[in-house]
Every structure is written in C-alpha cells, then in structure tokens.
C-alpha cells in the first residue's frame, strides 16, 4: 500500500478512516497489525480484499499485489486474484461459512478453478486439510453443517478453507480473538506451519500482543487511521520509539509482572475521525506531548531503514 487513504460517507460527514498508509508484506513473512479498536485495522484488511462497504472510497493511493495495481485490474482478474492468491479469515467464522451448505460442499466450492480434479478428489483434499487443522474423522465431518461444530472447530474449518488453495497472501483479522488461550496458541502454530510449507505471506491482525510477538516478523502499529510505528518484532517490543507503542505495551496485561487490581490504560479516547487533529493524531493523549505536536503533523522518523516512527521526539526521549 502506498499513501492509501480511505474515507466512509456517514450521516454526519466523511470519516477519514485511513490516512496515508504505507505498508509492505514481503513474500513469506508474517506482518502483525496492532492498535486500539477503531484504529482502522479491519478497514485496511477489507480494502485488500475489495470488500469495503458501499459507503467507502479509496480517496488516495494504491494497493498493489505482486507488482500489479489492484485498481487497474479487470473485475474478472480481480475475482480470480482474490479467490486463489489472496484469502481472508475473519474473527467470526460464520462470516465466511455459509450456514446452509455442508462444509464439504463449501470446501469443494473453494476449489472451483481446479477443473482437472474430480469431485471425489476435491473432497479428499478438503478432508486432508481438515485433518491438518485438527478436525478428527474429517471424511465424516464433511457432511455436517457449520452450526454442528463448536466455535473453535468452526474457526479451524474457516482457516482450512482459507489456506486450501495455498494463497500467496492470507489476511487473518482477529481469527483467534473468540477462542480460549490454548486454541489461540494452536491456531497460531498452524498459521506458522502453513506459512513455512506454502510460503504464504500473512497479515495477522490481533489484540493479543503475545501472539503477535510469537508469530510475526514485522509489526505495524496503527492509531486512529495512521501507521504510527513500523519495525521488526524486536524493534517494536524491545525498542519502541512512539509513545503510543510504548503505552500499548505498558497496558498489555500479559507483560505486567505484579498482580494488581487497577490495570493501566491509555487515558483518553481514540479521536473522532470526522475531524482529524491538525498536528500529531496522538497528541491529545500523549504523555510526552510538547508544543510542536499540536501544531505540526509529524513525518516518519527513520530509526534505521526498517524501523520508522511518526513522532516529533525522533527517539530523543524514547524508552532505551
Ligand atoms: P477493532 O479492533 O474494533 O476491530 P479496527 O481497528 O478494525 O477496530 P475499523 O473497523 O477498521 O477499526 O474502523 C476504523 C474506523 O472506520 C472507525 O472509526 C469506524 O467507526 C469506521 N468505520 C468502519 N466501517 C465503517 C462503515 N462501514 N461506515 C462508516 N464508518 C466505518
Ligand atoms: Mg477490526
């Protein structure tokens, strides 16, 4: 994505949901996307898939995949790209599964481009993938409907469908959020296996910083529609430069060593995106704010070529 901006038309005026997003997902890598609710993570994911709602518009910038600008492709080319090369799994598996078709039928449907494979062959491929994601007795399960599975099993089925055609890019939007801790880890391990085996790149959106740290190579931190910091997983977790990233890490319950009743939070709320602040978008909540922050929108400061932070402090008072 280059300089990508997306706005939603809403009754009270346009919502500037994404502004000037630059993001790369190198082949075979896992890129983690973090940020509070409303920061624009799902909007970004849906934009890649071409699934934005009708009131959304890409007001600026480009999304390219394997060197091709998605906006210049014909509808048929786009459909085939989004069916075979890019796939997406959502937080709620019922979003991608149809309630009225058996999972076997749906997993055969996904393979509709494989004309050379017989229907039986497609069923076998489906069963094999279900086995991989830990669904016992898969041949028998293919005849069942989504509601006949537990939520965790449904999510594993949705992931099996997502990787069945070995996409180049898998977009996973909070796929573990509704699961218990042990299942979360299992799913994360599965994604890591698929990435190694199929060389699939993954854009992994999660609120669970522990999973992000375990799975991702690169971490992108979003706040109120902007990427505020971007670096290797090590940079972000050990040398965060942006006060927002620092605050996000400080509030992670898993990183707080002493048991305490009053878990820390980031004071204030994500700004209303009908009116984006003039200076730094995080200034109203930033503990390190100074005059310049309210007056001038910061540019990306390069800590090193792969580590960028959009902050006027330029690391001067960061957490070293
Ligand atoms: P969460 O962590 O809660 O899933 P998110 O980071 O995925 O949050 P988005 O769902 O991308 O956030 O929302 C970003 C902003 O865009 C929010 O201000 C939201 O209200 C707005 N938005 C999203 N979808 C629409 C829509 N269809 N119409 C109008 N505004 C929308
Ligand atoms: Mg979301």
Domains and CATH numbers, the chain: 2-85+167-319 (3.40.50.300), 92-166 (no CATH)
Rg of the chain, C-alpha, whole Å: 21
d(C-alpha 296, C-alpha 65), whole Å: 33
Q: With a cut of 70, say whether residue 317 has pLDDT above it.
A: no
Q: With a cut of 70, say whether residue 182 has pLDDT above it.
A: yes
Q: Is the CB of 10 under 6 A from ligand 1?
A: yes
Give the pLDDT band (50/70/90) at residue 318. Answer: very low
Question: What is the average pLDDT value for the chain, to the nearest integer?
Answer: 92
Query: Which of 42, 178, 220 for mutating ligand 1's site (highest number of atoms within 8 Å of CB)?
Result: 42
Atom of ligand 1 nearest to the CA of 43: 11
Q: What is the pLDDT of residues 61-107, one digit of tens each?
A: 999 999 999 888 898 888 888 878 999 999 888 888 999 999 999 99
Q: Is 173 exposed, middle or buried (0-12, 13-18, 19+ CB in 10 A)?
A: buried
The tokens 């229907």 sit on which residue? 119
Give the pLDDT band (50/70/90) at residue 214. Answer: very high
pLDDT of residue 186: 87
| Cα 43 to averaged position of ligand 1 atoms, centre (Å) | 6
User: Which of 255-264's residues contact partners 24+ apart within 8 Å by CB, and which partners?
Assistant: 255/209
Q: Buried b / exposed e across 224-237, counting CB within 10 Å, b at 16+?
A: bbbbbbbbbbebbb
pLDDT of residue 95: 83
Q: Is the CB of 295 under 6 A from ligand 1?
A: no
pLDDT of residue 315: 66
pTM: 0.94
Percent of the chain whose predicted confidence (pLDDT) is above 70: 97
Q: Is the CB of 38 under 6 A from ligand 1?
A: yes
- CA-nearest residue for atom 14, ligand 1, is 40
Give the pLDDT band (50/70/90) at residue 235. Answer: very high
pLDDT of residue 320: 42
- CA-nearest residue for atom 17, ligand 1, is 38
Nearest CA-CA partner of 157 in 190, 117, 185: 190
pLDDT of residue 84: 81
| Cα 211 to averaged position of ligand 2 atoms, centre (Å) | 17
Please say whether the beta carbons of 249 and 255 come within 8 A.
Answer: yes
Q: What is the pLDDT of residues 257-313, one digit of tens each?
A: 766 667 778 888 888 888 887 899 999 999 999 999 999 999 999 999 999 999 999
Q: With a cut of 80, say whether residue 123 has pLDDT above it.
A: yes
Q: What is the pLDDT of residues 15-55, one digit of tens each?
A: 999 999 999 999 999 999 999 999 999 999 999 998 899 99
Give me the phi and psi of 55, to 5 degrees please: -85, 10
Ligand nearest to the CA of residue 225, numbered in listed order: 1
Q: With a cut of 80, say whether residue 253 has pLDDT above it.
A: no
- CA-nearest residue for atom 27, ligand 1, is 53
């Amino acid at each position: 994505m280059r300089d990508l901006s997306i706005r939603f038309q809403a009754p009270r005026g346009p919502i500037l949901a994404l502004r000037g997003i630059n993001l790369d997902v190198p082949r075979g890598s896992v890129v983690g996307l973090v940020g509070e609710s409303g920061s624009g993570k799902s909007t970004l994911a849906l934009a890649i898939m071409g699934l934005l709602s009708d009131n959304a518009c890409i007001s600026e910038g480009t999304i390219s995949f394997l060197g091709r600008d998605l906006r210049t492709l014909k509808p048929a080319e786009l459909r085939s790209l989004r069916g075979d090369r890019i796939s997406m799994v959502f937080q709620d598996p019922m979003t991608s599964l149809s309630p009225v078709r058996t999972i076997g039928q749906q997993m055969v449907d996904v393979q509709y481009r494989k004309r050379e494979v017989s229907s039986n062959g497609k069923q076998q491929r489906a069963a094999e993938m279900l086995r991989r994601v830990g669904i016992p007795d898969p041949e028998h399960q293919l005849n069942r409907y989504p509601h006949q599975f537990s939520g965790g099993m449904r999510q594993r089925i949705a992931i099996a469908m997502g990787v069945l055609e070995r996409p180049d890019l898998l977009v996973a939007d909070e796929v573990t959020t509704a699961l218990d801790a042990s299942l979360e880890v299992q799913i994360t391990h599965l994604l890591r296996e698929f990435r190694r085996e199929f060389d699939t790149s993954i854009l992994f959106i999660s609120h669970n910083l522990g999973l992000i740290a375990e799975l991702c190579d690169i971490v992108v931190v979003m706040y109120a529609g902007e990427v505020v910091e971007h670096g290797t997983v090590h940079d972000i977790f050990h040398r965060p430069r942006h006060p927002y990233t620092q605050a996000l890490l400080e509030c992670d319950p898993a990183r707080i060593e002493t048991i305490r009743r009053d878990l820390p939070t980031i004071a204030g709320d994500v700004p209303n995106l009908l009116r984006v602040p003039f200076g730094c978008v995080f200034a109203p909540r930033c503990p390190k704010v100074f005059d310049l922050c309210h007056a001038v929108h910061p540019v990306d400061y390069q800590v090193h070529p792969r580590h960028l932070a959009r902050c006027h402090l330029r690391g001067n008072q960061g957490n070293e």
